[in-house]
């Protein structure tokens, strides 16, 4: 009979021994947009049809477009990577700087 398997940190790929503390995570990023264009809430059917046509004629597949709107991952991280993730996601927005 074998014991628990070694887990792999999703951030640094280091093996995490069964005797080590690890942290389970689930991260979901969902795209949102409050306004669909320069016309704001007064968008017309023509505006929406134009946007839809641009999407249909674009190079991205439907799956690529969907992945831009909804991205989800889960896994485990080691103690060192947990500290980095918490620090990154806890930073005030003004300190984040440009991306």
Domain membership of residue 18 (yes or no) is yes
| Residue 80 near residue 24 (C-beta atoms within 8 A) | no
Domain membership of residue 35 (yes or no) is no
Whole-angstrom distance, CA of residue 14 vs CA of residue 58? 39
Domain membership of residue 50 (yes or no) is yes
**pLDDT at 35 exceeding the cut of 80:** no
pTM of the predicted model as reported, rounded to 2 decimal places: 0.64
The CA angle 88-93-97, to the nearest 5 degrees, is 80
Domain membership of residue 1 (yes or no) is no
| Residue 81 near residue 11 (C-beta atoms within 8 A) | yes
pLDDT top residue among 50 and 42: 50
Residues above pLDDT 90, as percent of the chain:
46
Which pLDDT belongs to residue 22? 97
Which pLDDT belongs to residue 66? 85
Domain residues for 64? 7-30+44-89
**pLDDT at 34 exceeding the cut of 90:** no
Domain membership of residue 36 (yes or no) is no
Which of the given ranges, 3-7, 12-16, 31-35, 84-88, has the highest pLDDT on average? 12-16
**pLDDT at 98 exceeding the cut of 70:** no
Which pLDDT belongs to residue 42? 57
Number of structural domains the chain divides into: 1
């Amino acid at each position: 009979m074998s014991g628990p398997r070694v887990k792999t940190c999703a951030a640094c790929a280091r093996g995490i021994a069964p005797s080590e503390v690890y942290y389970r995570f689930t991260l979901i990023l969902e795209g949102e947009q409050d306004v669909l264009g320069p016309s704001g809430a007064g968008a017309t059917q023509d505006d929406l049809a134009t946007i839809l046509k641009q999407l249909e004629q674009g190079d991205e597949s439907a799956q690529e477009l969907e992945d831009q709107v909804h991205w989800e991952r889960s896994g485990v991280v080691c103690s060192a990577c947990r500290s980095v993730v918490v620090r990154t996601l806890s930073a005030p927005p003004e300190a984040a700087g440009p991306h």
